Amino acid sequence: MFWSLHGGTSTIDTLLASEDGFTLEQLLEEDDLLQECKSQNDKLLDFIVESDNMSKLIDYIIDMPSETDSEARRFKFPYVASEVLCCDLQSIRDVMFSQAQLMEKVLSILQQDPPLAPVLVGYMSKVVVALFKGSPEAFCAFFNSVWAESSPEAPLALPKIMDRLMLHLGSDAVLQMLLVRSRLCAHCLT
């Protein structure tokens, strides 16, 4: 039966316990990665929330792969990375909101000239919306703090973000971001 099939350790646990070490890419290849994240596997989450690994996950959702990259790099890694970043996990939100450079990196895709790659901007938008929905108070506090302390030329400054969002208004994902921003303003003002 079903229960007898799942009695052993997961492939993720085996990989995490490997004496030879492992890479983020090996984890992204595993079919049960998302399930292990959602079940809050402590060893896995400790590995994922390391700054270098969070940065790599963000790279996968904002950097266009080249034609010479592997199929996994072009298709699987960006999708799985976005799903991991969108998991409703406090540890991921804590890292994103405590390290402004990570949120700056997520939004850096908006610095590109139009038109944006629809899939990548969709992944970025999905991550931002998930962060807002997962913890609207922390999201508001993060951006209120950044906006209060930043100069108008800072990458996360409100005028700069709004200019970039308006530049990419033709993207459905950017429209989603504007809806979140309007909710953010309404939520932060109440």
Please give the mean pLDDT across all residues of the chain: 90
32: number of CA atoms within 13 Å, CB side? 13
* pLDDT at res. 8: 63
* pLDDT at res. 61: 97
* pLDDT at res. 150: 82
Question: Which of 176 and 30 is assigned the larger pLDDT?
Answer: 30
- Out of 6-15, 72-81, 111-120, 129-138, the most confident range is 72-81
* pLDDT at res. 1: 40
* pLDDT at res. 116: 93
- Out of 52-56, 140-144, 176-180, the most confident range is 52-56
Question: Which of 176 and 118 is assigned the larger pLDDT?
Answer: 118
pLDDT tens per residue, range 2-53: 444 555 678 999 999 988 989 999 999 999 999 999 999 999 999 999 999 9
Nearest to 99 by CA among 157, 54, 56: 54
Distance CA 19, CA 94 (A): 29
The residue-averaged pLDDT of 50-64 equals 97
Burial status of residue 171 (CB atoms within 10 A of its CB: 0-12, 13-18, 19 or more): buried
Distance CA 172, CA 125 (A): 9
Nearest to 27 by CA among 39, 6, 45, 9: 45
The residue-averaged pLDDT of 160-185 equals 84
The residue-averaged pLDDT of 140-166 equals 87
* Start-to-end CA span in the chain (Å): 52
Distance CA 60, CA 74 (A): 9
